[in-house]
Structure 1
Amino acid sequence: MTIRVIIADDESLMRSGLKLLLGAATDIEVIAEAADGVEAIDLARRLSPDLVLMDIRMPRLDGLEAAQTLLSDPEHPQVLMLTAFGTDDFIHRALQSGAAGYILKDTPPEELINAVRAAADGTRTLSATALATLMSSRPPASAPGQDPLASLSTREREIAEAVAQGMTNAQVARSLFVSTATVKTHLARIFDKLEVTSRVQLALLVNSHR
Structure 2
Amino acid sequence: MALLSVLVLTEDLALAELLVSILSSMPGMLELFQAATIPEAIKQTPISSPNYLFLDTNVPGLDAPSIMKLFLLCPSCRIIAMLPSAEPVSKLIDLFQSGVRGFLNRNDITPDVIQSTCFSLPWNLIPLSTDVLTSSSSSLGASLEAKLTTTEKAILQAICSGLTNEQIARSLFIGRRTVEKHLTSIYGKLRVQSRTEAVVKWIHQQGMAIG
Normalising to structure 1: TM-score of the pair?
Answer: 0.59
Structure-1 residue corresponding to 2:59: 58
Corresponding residue for 1:160? none
RMSD between aligned residues: 3.2
Percent pairwise identity: 14
> Gaps spanning 5+ residues in structure 2: where?
147-155, 157-182, 191-211
Q: Aligned equivalents of 1:113 and 1:168: distance in 2? A: 15
**Structure 1 residue aligned with 2:83:** 83
CA deviation map 1:106-151 (0-9, x unaligned): 1141113323214x854112113xxxxxxxxxxxxxxxxxxxxxxx
Give SS of 2:104's match: strand
1:90 counterpart letter in structure 2: K
SS in 2 for 1:41: helix
Q: How does 1:1-210 map to 2 (within 5 A)?
A: 1-27=2-28, 29-59=30-60, 61-62=61-62, 64-73=64-73, 75-84=75-84, 86-87=86-87, 88-109=89-110, 110-118=112-120, 122-128=123-129, 165-168=131-134, 184=136, 188-192=138-142, 207=187, 209=189
Partner-residue secondary structure (3-state), 1:14: helix
Residues 9, 58 of structure 1: 8 Å contact kept = yes
Change (3 A) 1:30 1:127: farther
Q: Is the 8 A contact 1:123 1:168 kept in 2?
A: no
Q: CA deviation at 1:90?
A: 2.2
CA distance in 1, matches of 2:142, 2:115: 29
Listed one character per residue, the Cα deviations across residues 8-56 of structure 1 (whole Å, up to 9, x for unaligned) are 0012232122100111111362421000112112211221110110001
Q: Distance in 2 between matches of 1:9 and 1:80?
A: 12
Change (3 A) 1:81 1:64: farther
Q: CA deviation at 1:192?
A: 4.8
Task: Report SS of the residue matched to 1:49.
Answer: coil
Q: For 2:29 and 2:92, locate their aligned partners in 1 and report how far apart those are by CA, in whole Å.
A: 25
Distance 1:190 1:9, change over 3 A: closer
Q: Per the alignment, do residues 46 and 117 of structure 1 end up closer, same or farther by CA in structure 2, a change over 3 Å counting?
A: same
1:126 aligns to what SS in structure 2? coil
Give, in angstroms, the shift of residue 209 of structure 1: 4.0
1:75 offset after TM fit, Å? Answer: 3.4
Q: Is the contact made by 1:8 and 1:40 (CA closer than 8 Å) also made in structure 2?
A: yes
Deviation string, structure 1 residues 157-194 (Cα, Å, up to 9, x no partner):
xxxxxx9x42456xxxxxxxxxxxxxx5xx53443565
TM-aligned CA distance change 1:28 to 1:56, over 3 Å: farther
TM-score (norm 2): 0.58
Indicate how the Cα distance of structure 1 residues 189 and 83 shifts in structure 2: closer, same or farther if over 3 A, else same: closer
- Cα distance in 2 for partners of 1:46, 1:38 equals 13
